[in-house]
Amino acid sequence: MTMTRSTNENGRHVVDATLTLRLTRHDRELLQELVALQAAEMADTGVEVTAASYVRGLIRHEARTKGLLDSAPASVAAPAAAARAPAAARVPATASALRRRARRGA
């Protein structure tokens, strides 16, 4: 079975699953602090960091580290195509993509 994320008419990904976590109060507070730190690091990008985006970033980072996901995301693999696209058609970078760029020093 292949799991892919569907896209809507604008080409953006659509969520097809929900993850519910049971956290202790302490774990929830830690998550909130991590999200706040990430949001502060990315404040100048205009990207909203949420608990969900933070957890998705952790999942993708681990998957990439374990070889389950391509090391170069599609947005990095095709910069020429993005550069040719009209500015109005460009989609803003996601929080996880911006974190990856920051780690690489790009």
Q: What is the pLDDT of residues 40-77, one digit of tens each?
A: 999 999 999 999 999 999 999 999 999 998 876 555 44
Q: If you count them, how many residues does the chain have?
A: 106
Could you give phi then psi for residue 97, rounded to 5 degrees? -65, -40
Check: CB of residue 59 under 8 Å from CB of residue 17. no
- The structure's pTM equals 0.56
Residue 94, classed as helix, strand or coil, is coil
Query: Any idea what the Cα angle at residue 94 is, between residues 47 and 86, rounded to 5°?
Result: 100
Using a 10 angstrom Cβ sphere, with 0-12 exposed, 13-18 middle and 19 or more buried, the burial of residue 99 is buried
Residue 11: per-residue pLDDT: 61
